[in-house]
Amino acid sequence: MKSEGKQMIKRDILCDHMLNVCLKLQTLRDSCSGVFQTQTYPPSITWFDGAAAICQEAIDWIEEVVLILTRAEEQTVTDKNTDKFKSCNGP
C-alpha cells in the first residue's frame, strides 16, 4: 500500500514537471509567433538568450522525467522478478 502511495506521488511530480515543460514551450511558441508584442523587431539578443534558456530548461526537465520513468520501469521489472522468485521458492 505504501508503494502505491509513493508511485502516485512520483506520478504527480512527473505530471507537474511535464506541465511546466509544456507551459514553457507554449510561452516560447507564442513569443515566436508574435502573440506577445513586447519585443521590437528584429528581436534583441536578450530574447534569443531567454529562448535558449527556456529550451534548455525544458530539455533538462524532459531528460529528468525520462530518467525517472526508466528507473521506475527497471524497479517494476525487478519487483516482479523478486515476486516470481519468492512464489517459486515458497514463503
pLDDT more than 70, % of the chain: 67
Number of domains composing the chain? 1
Domain that holds residue 31: 2-89
Residue type, 33: S
- The confidence score (pLDDT) of residue 26 equals 86
pLDDT value for 87: 62
User: What pLDDT shows up at residue 69?
Assistant: 81
The per-residue pLDDT for range 46-75, each reduced to its tens digit, is 878 888 888 888 889 888 888 888 888 788
At 15, is the pLDDT very low, low, confident or very high (cuts 50, 70, 90)?
Answer: confident
